Structure 1
Amino acid sequence: MSAHTPSASPRKPLVLMTMGSQARNGHDYQVMTHKYIKPLVEISDCTPLLVPTCCGTEALEHYLSLADGIYLSGAGSNIDPALYGQQNLTPDKAQDRERDLFDIALVRAAIDKGVPILGICRGMQEINVALGGDIHQKVYSEPGFDDHREDPEDPPELQYGESHMVELVEGSWFADLMGTRRIPVNSLHGQAIRRLGRGLAPLAHAEDGVIEAIHAPGLPQFTLAVQWHPEWHASENPHSVKIFTAFGEACRRQAAQR
């Protein structure tokens, strides 16, 4: 190498982002919304690898062998309730069983391999179901709980605006990361965790008691999932910046072990 040849940049962590199914004009698409990708690139400083879920799990281990992190996004579809032992109470809502089956297997394999995991909204529910938990399919109909859904008539800026406060578990690493016990969040979900999966514990609750954030305290790797949407205008939200920065740092530690 000559004195004028620049040295290679350090390899950025590679993070798997699984896509979901969406039908458009008679064609099936695999999709990922920009708002989930941008904070992973701009704040976490990681490289996304978009993974199709429409072809089964045959290549899952190969994808995972490349990964320094797993990032499970939200989506417009619900998890198939048969996967957590319930009848479907929301037949009007879209499902994506191919994503369900891929992501549940991916969560379990990532846990076995010690790969960091971040989940958002549907992603949090996938982690819970993968570990044997279940879900309130219509949390807005459950006694004592609020309606956490957005108004479909509102523009996105209102839908993703601050909706309510969440209380962080006192003394938790997450409360330390946020630097406070209460933070404002948006709210765009009709479903919520009912019973926590094996090894999972809450990190935050809404004012009505709905679980808003979870982790797996017995696992060595970074695990965090939240029910709200920190990806929305993430760079403008100090709490979101802290979440994506912490995930990026965990992925860099994982990459350094290669």
Structure 2
Amino acid sequence: MSNHNANTFTAKRKPVVLMSMGAQERKGHAYQVMTHKYITPLAEISGCVPLLAPSCCGVDDLEQYLSMVDGVYLTGAGSNIDPILYGQDNLTPNKGQDKDRDLFDIPLIRAAIERGIPLFGICRGMQEINVALGGDIHQKAYEVPGFNDHREDSNDPVEVQYSDTHKVRPVPGSWLAELIGEEEFPVNSLHGQAIDRLGEGLEPLAHAEDGLIEAIHMPGAKQFTAAVQWHPEWRATENPYSVKLFQAFGEACRQYAAQRDQ
């Protein structure tokens, strides 16, 4: 490659963001998968290049992955985190688990924070961040007195499952409150589990109307570290609040990439 072409490539280079894949069984074969709805807003709104990492191969190559990326993006999934990782018995044995993803993402989160790599989590991803930092989970949030049932009805059409069902209120004065520019805004809700005790260094960033923690951040971290319990990836380009979130993450990744390239 000529120097001119190399310089052009560097100028046009987009941030690379690691997305850890999850396990899925199909017709007797084990798959590693990632849903389109998570990938497309990262590319279309954040302006980043997704790097999909299989979580079934262990963590031997974790440092190499992190040396290649400018952000880490932890998505939702149909599985729950193994409660043994936060010191509890499994109260939802009928719900699927993905222990390979658990054992990949928890050290990934800790290493990304240590390296100063921007980190964004959605649903399961938010809960992973909390567990990685020593927090725990309400395994059945819908049975906790005072909390509403935040689960979707699996019999509804997908469009109904992902429709706005309640409002969240950003913590006044927080960066999320400034980003959104409104005291409260509507979100979808598709989760049976929720954060209980917060992990070390984490603080609430938004709450649902019933007080449940809907977003977290790590104000002591030098980089963008945030996560939400709802699903901003769903038809993200049509949702102004989702657009703001993915733009903010993309900008953080660009800043990290610029600093790394110096």
TM-score, normalised on structure 2? 0.96
Instruction: Give the aligned residue type for 2:219.
Output: P
* Counterpart pick for 1:206 among 194, 205, 208: 208
Matched, 1:18 2:20: yes
Task: Give 1:236's aligned residue.
Answer: 238
- 2:37 counterpart SS class: helix
Task: Give 2:33's aligned residue.
Answer: 31
Q: Distance in 2 between matches of 1:6 and 1:190?
A: 49
CA positional deviation for 1:5: 8.0
CA positional deviation for 1:257: 1.2
Matched, 1:251 2:253: yes
| Residues 37 and 199 of structure 1: CA distance in aligned 2, closer, same or farther (over 3 Å) | same
Q: Distance in 2 between matches of 1:152 and 1:10?
A: 43
Task: Give 1:85's aligned residue.
Answer: 87
Task: Give 1:58's aligned residue.
Answer: 60
| Residues 53 and 6 of structure 1: CA distance in aligned 2, closer, same or farther (over 3 Å) | closer
CA positional deviation for 1:10: 1.7
| Residues 80 and 173 of structure 1: CA distance in aligned 2, closer, same or farther (over 3 Å) | same
- 1:128 counterpart SS class: helix
CA positional deviation for 1:108: 0.2
RMSD across aligned C-alpha pairs, in angstroms? 1.5
Residues 43-67 of structure 1: CA deviation (Å, up to 9, x unaligned)? 0000000000001110111101111
- 2:24 counterpart SS class: strand
Counterparts of 1:168-247 in structure 2, within 5 Å, are: 168-247=170-249
CA positional deviation for 1:199: 0.1
Counterparts of 1:126-137 in structure 2, within 5 Å, are: 126-137=128-139
Task: Give 1:102's aligned residue.
Answer: 104
Instruction: Give the aligned residue type for 1:120.
Output: I
Q: Distance in 1 between matches of 2:90 and 2:136?
A: 13
Task: Give 2:147's aligned residue.
Answer: 145
How many matched pairs?
Answer: 257
Q: Identity of paired residues, percent?
A: 70
Residues 88-133 of structure 1: CA deviation (Å, up to 9, x unaligned)? 0000000001100100000000000000000000000000000000
* Counterpart pick for 2:166 among 160, 164, 168: 164
Larger helix share, 1 or 2 = 2
In structure 1, the gaps of 5 or more residues are none
- 1:195 counterpart SS class: coil
Q: Distance in 2 between matches of 1:65 and 1:144?
A: 44
| Residues 257 and 5 of structure 1: CA distance in aligned 2, closer, same or farther (over 3 Å) | closer
Q: Distance in 1 between matches of 2:172 and 2:72?
A: 27
- 2:12 counterpart SS class: coil
| Residues 171 and 94 of structure 1: CA distance in aligned 2, closer, same or farther (over 3 Å) | same
Instruction: Give the aligned residue type for 1:246.
Output: A
Instruction: Give the aligned residue type for 1:225.
Output: A
Q: Distance in 2 between matches of 1:5 and 1:144?
A: 60
Q: Distance in 2 between matches of 1:204 and 1:82?
A: 27
Q: Distance in 2 between matches of 1:101 and 1:223?
A: 20
Q: Distance in 1 between matches of 2:111 and 2:205?
A: 23
CA positional deviation for 1:181: 1.4
- 2:107 counterpart SS class: helix
| Residues 37 and 105 of structure 1: CA distance in aligned 2, closer, same or farther (over 3 Å) | same
Q: Distance in 1 between matches of 2:131 and 2:40?
A: 27
Instruction: Give the aligned residue type for 2:29.
Output: H
- 1:54 counterpart SS class: helix
Q: Distance in 2 between matches of 1:78 and 1:26?
A: 21
Q: Distance in 2 between matches of 1:63 and 1:181?
A: 38
* Counterpart pick for 1:40 among 24, 39, 42: 42
- 2:196 counterpart SS class: strand
CA positional deviation for 1:7: 6.7
